[in-house]
Amino acid sequence: MAIQTPALNVMVAAARKAGRSLARDFGEVENLQVSVKGAGDFVSAADLRAEKIIREELMHARPAYGWLGEESEEVKGKDPTRRWIVDPLDGTTNFLHGLPHFAISIALEHKGEVVSAVILDPAKEEMFVAEKGGGAFVNDRRLRVSARKEMSEAVFATGVPFGSKRTLPITLKELARLMPQCAGVRRFGSAALDLAYVAAGRYDGFWEREIQPWDMAAGILIAKEAGALVTDLSPGKAPGLDMMERGDIVAANPNIFEKFRSELGGD
Ligand code: IPD
Ligand code: CA
C-alpha cells in the first residue's frame, strides 16, 4: 500500500475487531431464520455491539475527534476539524435475513473532506481502504474502476427506496429509463459495498437518493481514489460535501459518467 497513516491503522484494527463480532453474530442469525419471532432484537444488539467496539477503539486512540454514527448521538470533538463517520453495520436487512452481504464503514473527515476510509465485508473477508492521494486497495491489491464506455455493457447498482422513503417514484422512473439500455441494475443492499464495488470495477456506476452520510463517507473516498467520478445528483453543482448534505450520490467510471448521470432524474 502506498501510504498508511497511523489513523488508518487504527481504523483497520477497529474494523477487524468489530468484524469478528459481526461474523460471530451472523452465524447465530442464520440459525434464527426458522424461528417465528425472527432475529430482529438479536440483530439490533449485534449492531450496537459492533458500534461499541468501533467507538471504544477510535475514541481511545483519538479522544479529541468528533463522532457521527448511525447508532448514537453525534459528538462534537475538542478538535472541531476532525470527525469519525461510522456505520457499524451497513446492509442491516441483509444481515437480518442471513444474506452474507453487509459491511462496516469507517471514514475520517478532516475540514469537511474524507481523508481516510475503511470498508470491511466480514462475510467475504474483503477489506477496502483508501487514503486521500494514496490510492485505494482491497486486501492490499490496488483498485481501479472499470474502463467500460458503452451503456449496453454497463452494470449499475442502486438502492431502491423502501418503507416511508419519498423517492420511490423517481427511482422507478430512472430504472425504467436505464434498464432497457444497460446490461443490468443490481440492488444488493449495502451502499458502502456498492461504492467499494464501483472502485473495484465490478459495477460501472452507482446512484442512490435519501442516503445518510455514514452510508457513503468511506465509499466516496475509496471510489474516488480508484478513479471514479463521484458527485451529488443535482447537475451543475460543485461536487464535495454537498453529497453528504443533500443525501444523494452518483459514482461511475469517467468513461461512462456523463451518459449515466444524464439518465438520472436530477431534482
Ligand atoms: C442501508 C443500505 C442500503 C441503502 C439504504 C441504507 P443500513 O443502510 O446501505 O443499501 O439502500 O439507503 O439505509 O440501514 O443497512 O445501515
Ligand atoms: Ca447504512
Confidence (pLDDT) at 71? 82
State which H helix or E strand residue 32 sits in: helix 6-32
Q: Give the residue extent of every domain in the chain.
A: 6-142, 151-264
Ligand 1 atom with least separation from CA of 93: 15
Confidence (pLDDT) at 240? 52
Average pLDDT over residues 18-46: 87
CA of 91 to the centre of ligand 1 (A): 5
Tell me 250's DSSP state.
E
**Ligand 1 within 6 A of 51 CB?**
no
CA distances from 181 to 102, 150, 175, 213 (A): 29, 9, 10, 30
Lowest mean pLDDT among 62-66, 117-121, 169-173: 169-173
CATH number, domain 151-264, options 1.10.3720.10, 3.40.190.80, 3.40.190.10, 3.10.620.30: 3.40.190.80
pLDDT tens for each residue of 135-158: 999 998 999 999 999 999 999 999
**Contact (Cβ atoms closer than 8 angstroms) between residue 248 and residue 266:** no
Write the CB contacts of 128 (distance below 8 Å, at least 6 apart in sequence).
Answer: 117, 118, 119, 120, 121, 136, 137, 138, 143, 196, 199, 200, 218, 222
What's phi and psi for 47, nearest 5 deg? Answer: -60, -50
Q: Is the pLDDT of residue 3 over 60?
A: no
Average pLDDT over residues 164-188: 94
> Which band of pLDDT confidence, cut at 50, 70 and 90, is reported for residue 114?
very high
- How many CB atoms are located within 10 Å of the residue 37 CB? 8
> Which band of pLDDT confidence, cut at 50, 70 and 90, is reported for residue 163?
confident
Q: Is the pLDDT of residue 234 over 50?
A: yes
If phi over 0 gives left and psi between -120 and 50 gives alpha, with beta otherwise, what is residue 18? alpha
SS3 content of the chain, % helix, strand, coil (to 5): 40, 25, 40
Average pLDDT over residues 245-252: 92
Q: Is the pLDDT of residue 267 over 50?
A: no
pLDDT tens for each residue of 203-220: 999 999 999 999 999 999
CA of 35 to the centre of ligand 1 (A): 25
**Contact (Cβ atoms closer than 8 angstroms) between residue 126 and residue 222:** no
> Which band of pLDDT confidence, cut at 50, 70 and 90, is reported for residue 237?
low
CA of 72 to the centre of ligand 2 (A): 13
What's phi and psi for 14, nearest 5 deg? Answer: -65, -45
Confidence (pLDDT) at 79? 96
**Contact (Cβ atoms closer than 8 angstroms) between residue 58 and residue 118:** no
**Ligand 1 within 6 A of 69 CB?**
no
Q: Is the pLDDT of residue 38 over 80?
A: no
CA distances from 54 to 67, 85, 91 (A): 11, 11, 17
Ligand with an atom nearest the CA of residue 105? 2
Confidence (pLDDT) at 94? 95
Give CA–CA dist 42/52, Å, rounded. Answer: 15
Give CA–CA dist 15/102, Å, rounded. Answer: 13
CATH number, domain 6-142, options 3.30.70.580, 3.40.50.2300, 3.30.540.10, 3.40.50.2000: 3.30.540.10
Of the residues 54, 102, 190, which should be mutated to test ligand 1's pocket, given the most ligand atoms within 8 Å of the CB?
A: 190
User: What global pTM score does this model have?
Assistant: 0.95
Ligand with an atom nearest the CA of residue 249? 1
Beta-carbon-side half-sphere exposure of residue 223 (alpha carbons within 13 Å): 30
CA of 103 to the centre of ligand 2 (A): 9
pLDDT tens for each residue of 48-61: 999 999 999 999 99
Give the residue whose CA is nearest to atom 15 of ligand 1: 91
Confidence (pLDDT) at 192? 98
Residue with the bigger pLDDT between 200 and 265: it is 200
**Contact (Cβ atoms closer than 8 angstroms) between residue 64 and residue 78:** yes
- Mean pLDDT, rounded, of the chain: 92
Tell me 211's DSSP state.
-
Ligand with an atom nearest the CA of residue 96? 1
pLDDT tens for each residue of 69-94: 988 889 999 999 999 999 999 999 99
Q: Do domains 6-142 and 151-264 have the same CATH topology?
A: no
> Which band of pLDDT confidence, cut at 50, 70 and 90, is reported for residue 2?
low
Q: Which amino acid is at 166?
A: R
Give CA–CA dist 198/223, Å, rounded. Answer: 6
Ligand 1 atom with least separation from CA of 211: 12
**Contact (Cβ atoms closer than 8 angstroms) between residue 108 and residue 116:** yes
